[in-house]
Structure 1
């Protein structure tokens, strides 16, 4: 969809710039993932070959840990980032983001792609231009999730059956084998959050 915006005669210069930013950011994220995975795999393979040739089994763990902790602070790599999802308006979004900040979590809007989408969405038609971009980003975000994920929903009216949560994120999480549990939180009109058992 971002490419469609860039190629559109109807798109403004600002819309095209934001769409190019999204495309660049998405491409950079994929490249970084591939490069990082390749480096880690190479380091692990080199360590395994070295361990086999010298008989030192601990070399594998040592080199792999060094590759994973390249910044020297291995504590940040050991933490699992919890994915947070939300549906139901600003009060629910704010509750999800606050929870994420307090619990080593992240919502889509807290990612670089999410931040770009929030900017782009301000100048696009929601249903024909912005929503398809959010759908793709939401699907990718749900595919990246692992372990327990948390979803925040509004108490007043429940979740729309046409929402991105109901149509994209929830079904994707259900088929993601790395997701072990979905924890539900209900956000009350005053902003209080109730976690369901």
Structure 2
């Protein structure tokens, strides 16, 4: 009979321990979820006393520990997010500075591309083209005037040469006539001298 009692007591304690272990495992499993589920579980497993809820001390300890762990984790995540935010802010500021510098360089290149340095002064390509075509037109006009003047000078030189040739011909003709006249006068003078000599004899 004692064997049965011992067996019964052994089975009772074993089942009690297994039930306790099962309850603890169930409570541990339920106390490992989100804080919201843990609070719901604690409220569900709490006893009622008048308008109050009677909560096991172990549940409150676990809730406190889990809440503090969550708060500390959130604080750590918040600190990491602040560091990441500061890093992103620094990167954004650097990118803004780079963008401003790039924009300034682009503006300079645009101005340099649209402008040409002429006599040390930057002017737009349109004005530069107008000035260049104006200079080319002026030079062409000067060349045309020079060609007309050269043509006029050639014509004047040709006329002067023709006049000179005519003048030389006239001069040669005048010299020949003058020589003939001088010879004629010389003969006449000689004749007169001869006559005069004859008359004086």
| TM-score category (smaller protein) | under 0.3
Answer 1 or 2: higher relative contact order, Cα 8 Å, separation at least 6: 1
Larger Rg: 2
TM-score scaled by length of structure 2: 0.23
Higher strand proportion: 1
